[in-house]
Amino acid sequence: MSRVYLLVLLIAGMSVQALGQTRTPAAGGTQPRQATATQTTTTPPAAPANTAYSGTPSVRPIPESDMMYRRTVWRVIDLREKQNRPMYSVNHEVTKIILDAVKRGELTVYKDDSLNKTMTPEEYRKVLVKPGEEMEETEEDRQARLEAEKQLAQINAARRRQGGAVEAAPVATAAMGPIEYSPRDIKKLELKEDVIFDKKRSRMYYDIHAITLKVPNAVTGFDDVIGAFAYKDLVKVFRNHPKEAIWYNPQNNANHLNLADAFDLRMFGNYIKKVSNPNDDDLKTIHGGSEQAILAAQRALEEMIEFEYSLWSY
């Protein structure tokens, strides 16, 4: 009992000593320094140019230990096809959703679907300009502008002679600038994904990594790349703007889908452009022509479907 009593006295003495140290000293004494918690808000720095995507671009990554089969496939979604019109409806184009998100700063633009290098704002503005569509002031426009400025000067001089009259406002001239691609000009999406057979779940998964915007170039005859985007970032944009990012349901306007759900449900038409190979060549290069590439794309699709079916035994 005496030991318990001594222990209680010791604890009480330590508490009194601690309280005495926190008392305010007499006038003229040195005030004790008190730690104050300050809350600071820091803005994360913008990602510098030529930086790779951090983490995985997959929305639902699958552990490599669960992968029994994996192949990287590049597919082209032609937005002009009838099956793809629901994601290309007027004022709800998937291309418009992406371009608007870039303007708001919600998306990072990459140079290609490897997501290793980002575009600078100057580079992005440059690729948005239509080739051969730069607007310049012609000699006729310059003469008209000078004539308008001359007449304005004469009107202002006459008003000053009358005294107290308000001068006319200067002529507002439209700023000459380049013509950029509109969302309706961008006709194709190139989708990069991994086709994975998950041995733990015993099913095939389509793990989308990136989506690239492509626009046909009337001068060169090839498709120009507007920019590539990580699929995980796109899903966030689609979810954050449900009223704009819709897959239009023509049969029931009360049951439009979100674009993220449409991609998950594979509600789009496509054709295979490239399958992973040692030389990183597309099917057109491998088979030497567009017609042969179309047939090869169909064969590649059938082979993957047949491979999945062959994994089952009854």
Q: Where are the domains of the chain?
A: 64-130+182-310, 136-176
Q: What is the pLDDT of residue 82?
A: 94
Q: What is the mean pLDDT of residues 229-239?
A: 96
Helix (H) or strand (E) holding 140: helix 139-162
Q: What is the mean pLDDT of residues 34-44?
A: 37
Look up residue 54 and give its two tokens.
């951090």
- pLDDT tier for residue 11 given thresholds of 50, 70 and 90: very low
231-240 and 94-103 helices, crossing angle to 10°: 90
Q: How far is Cα 107 from Cα 54, in angstroms, rounded to an integer? A: 14
Lowest mean pLDDT among 131-135, 147-151, 181-185, 186-190: 131-135
Q: What is the mean pLDDT of residues 112-126?
A: 93
Look up residue 232 and give its two tokens.
């995980």
| Of 25 and 83, more confident | 83
| pLDDT surpassing 90 at residue 1 | no
pTM for the model: 0.70
Q: Please return the burial class of 110, using the count of CB atoms within 10 Å of its CB with bins 0-12, 13-18 and 19+.
A: buried
Q: What is the pLDDT of residue 12?
A: 45
- Average pLDDT of the chain is 80
Q: Residues 244, 260: contact at Cβ < 8 Å? A: no
Q: What is the pLDDT of residue 53?
A: 74
| Of 274 and 166, more confident | 274
Q: What is the pLDDT of residue 144?
A: 78
| pLDDT surpassing 60 at residue 172 | no
Closest of 193, 234, 258, 190 to residue 62, by C-alpha: 193
- pLDDT tier for residue 188 given thresholds of 50, 70 and 90: very high
Name the CA radius of gyration of the chain, rounded: 33
- pLDDT tier for residue 273 given thresholds of 50, 70 and 90: very high
Q: How far is Cα 100 from Cα 183, in angstroms, rounded to an integer? A: 9
Lowest mean pLDDT among 4-13, 263-272, 294-303: 4-13
Q: What is the pLDDT of residue 51?
A: 65
Q: What is the mean pLDDT of residues 123-139?
A: 76
| Of 59 and 24, more confident | 59
| Of 178 and 6, more confident | 178
